[in-house]
Amino acid sequence: MRAILLNRGIQALFVLLVIAGWMWATEVRGVSRLFLPPLDSVAASFQRLVSSGAFYEALKVTLSTVAQAYAIAVVSGILIGYLVSRSRFSTAVFEPVISGIFAIPLTLFFPLFILFLGVGVSSKIAYAALYSFFPVCLNTIAGLQSVEPRYIQAARSMGASSLEVFRHVQLPAAFPVLVNGLRVSFLICFAAVLGGEVLMSVEGLGRNISQSAESMNTASMYAWIVFVILTAFVLNMVVTFIENRAKEY
Amino acid sequence: MTPIDATGPSGILSRKALTQDQKVVYTRILVILGVVVFWEIAGRFLINPAFLAPPTHVVRALFTTIFASPEIRYAIWLALVEVTIAYALAVVVGIAIGLAVGITEPGRKAMFPIIVMIWVIPNITLLPLFMVVFGLGPVGKIAYAFSGGIFPIMVNVIAGMRNVNQLYVRGTQSMGGSRLDELRHVVFPNMVPSLFTGLRLGMIVTMLGVIASELYVSANGIGYYTRLYSEVYDPAPLFALILTLAVISITLNELVRLAERRFTRWRR
């Protein structure tokens, strides 16, 4: 507990130092406003985006994109992971292929999603779903592989169907590894949606950042970045909380 | 790479295990070939050619467009140079900061929470910022890729120095070793596997950084060509360009992996 408090204290101190450095650079050194606008103009811009409700529209678009992409990734990841793990042979055939594809920077394929699905939300859903599919699938395979085969045989010999074996033996045993994959894949999903929005889109949080950058409205860009960072911290806390609760269970 | 289930000492068993391994490899090749054939059929007959190019057309475009155009060759070359410089910077600075922070206990305690906090930020949100500050040329792309790639290296160096078995440290001390001996013979060797994990992850993140910034900037480089080909609905060169970059990424990844295997062999 004390260690956590100490960490939080150090982090708070660091944030204060960054703010102090920012003020020093803009007020004393006179860094160009185009690169680093004064803190009060960013604060004003931030206040405007909060009070005008502009954040709400963008946040809604981004979070609903994340939710849809994540749902696709989780369902398909667990399903394909399960199917691949049905036999040792298919695991040996497919697992290296799946982890090999994941080693390629999948951002490369982003232009294809734009070509197939356009600049709207759907290309971001598909792109983020593809990205976050891999950790779910790979962790499902790893988790199912770690299940003691004797338990499965015991359940089988007592007349359990495949579904019952999955529900009562494999899923509980693979759960900790799977939960880890679910957390990692959610964070990847969020980053991928933001990335897709920054690279090419018409709405969402990421789009607001790149749009303010393109119009050289730096104060607004910083305000949106601060907003996204706060969102990332909140999501991170929520996910860690859920993970800890799930592991207790 | 899957471990062979050689439970018995008999040669028969190990030969059987080997054919099993070969079966796995052949099945894998068959599956991949099947996907390529299906893609060819889909690209030729099923899907609108404005969106999907069959593999044969992609390979043709590779030679008629991608390798034939000096501009595209230059764009790919420039991206490769950007990855190299950004990665070299990330490795040198990342290891230096990692060592400086990780070498003392108070240093780790004070700096690690800060590094972790910055790491949580999805760094793609900072891409437009880097482009505003450093411009749309190679400098901005290198700076952005460096800013991402340095983190896994830093974190893994620090983590590697943290997880030292205290028994070895005390052993060195009781045998009259200085702090330098302790670092040279206990702390640094212990850090090596973790360091290479960091170097491998750092390579992936650096590459992601260069690719993302190349795609973000559509005025020049690879991003210009990807946008050009998508806008005129000419998928063959687009696929060929992406294929080239994927091959480059896989090669760079494998190089780092080879180095990792070479330098951590003594531990296994």
Question: What tens digit of pLDDT does each residue of B97-120 get?
Answer: 999 888 887 888 888 888 888 888
How far is it between the farthest Cα atoms of chain B?
Answer: 77
**Statement: residue A115 has pLDDT above 70:** yes
Predicted confidence at residue A129, as pLDDT, reads 97
pLDDT tens readout for residues A180-224: 899 999 999 999 999 999 999 889 999 999 999 888 888 999 999
| pLDDT digits 0-9 by tens, A10-31 | 888 888 998 888 888 887 887 7
Residue with tokens 């590697």: B160
Q: What percent of chain B has pLDDT over 70?
A: 92
- Asked whether the beta carbons of B164 and B190 are under 8 A apart, the reply is yes
CB contact under 8 A, B128 and A213: yes
pLDDT of B12 higher than 70: no
Residue A8: other Cβ atoms inside 10 A: 12
Half-sphere exposure of B255 (CA within 13 A, CB side): 9
Q: Is A28 on the interface with B (CB under 8 A)?
A: no
Ramachandran assignment for A118, one of left (phi > 0), alpha (psi -120 to 50 degrees), beta (any other): left
Is the model's pLDDT at B144 over the cut of 70? yes
Provide the pLDDT for residue B7. Answer: 47
Name the pLDDT band for A174 (thresholds 50, 70, 90). confident
Categorize the per-residue pLDDT at B1 as very low, low, confident or very high, splitting at 50, 70 and 90.
Answer: very low
pLDDT of residue A104: 86
Closest chain A CA to residue B244: A108
Average pLDDT over residues B175-198: 82
Q: Which of A184-188, A212-216, B141-145, B198-202 has the lowest mean pLDDT?
A: A212-216
Of A8, A105, A232, nearest to B249 by CB-CB distance is A105
- Residue A30 region by backbone torsions, left for phi larger than 0, else alpha for psi between -120 and 50, else beta: left
Give me the pLDDT at residue B8, please: 44
Please state the rounded mean pLDDT for residues B139-145.
95
Best probe of the A interface among B2, B35, B125, by most A CBs < 10 A, is B125
Q: How confident is the model at residue B16 (pLDDT cuts 50, 70, 90)?
A: low
Q: CA-nearest residue of chain A to B29?
A: A93
pLDDT band at residue B6 using 50, 70 and 90 as cut-offs: very low
Other C-beta atoms closer than 10 Å to the C-beta of B160 total: 23
Q: What is the pLDDT of residue B18?
A: 62
* pLDDT band at residue A73 using 50, 70 and 90 as cut-offs: very high
Residues 6+ apart with CB under 8 A from B241: B66, B72, B76, B222, B225, B226, B229
pLDDT computed for residue B154 by the predictor: 93
pLDDT at B180 over 90: no
Any idea how long chain B is?
A: 268
Whether B5 has a pLDDT exceeding 60, the answer reads no
pLDDT score, position B183 = 78
What is the CATH number assigned to the segment(s) B59-267?
Answer: 1.10.3720.10
**pLDDT-derived band at B15, boundaries 50, 70, 90:** low
Mean per-residue pLDDT for B80-98? 95
* Interchain contact, B124 vs A11, CB within 8 Å: no
Measured distance CA(A240)–CA(B6) in Å, rounded: 41
Percent of chain B with pLDDT over 90: 42
Instruction: Locate all alpha helices (DSSP H) within chain A, ordered by sequence.
Output: 2-23, 39-51, 54-84, 88-103, 110-117, 121-145, 149-157, 162-165, 171-199, 205-214, 218-248
Q: Given this model, what pLDDT does residue B73 score? A: 92
* Top mean-pLDDT range of A11-15, A77-81, A92-96: A77-81
Arithmetic mean of pLDDT, A121-144: 95
* Interface check A113 vs B, CB under 8 A: no
Residue in chain A nearest B4 by alpha carbon? A92
The 10 Å Cβ neighbour count of residue A167 is: 12
For residues A65-94, average pLDDT: 93
Interface of A with B in 72-111 (CB under 8 A): 89, 92-94, 96-97, 103-105, 107-111
Which of A42-51, A169-178, A189-198 tops mean pLDDT?
A189-198
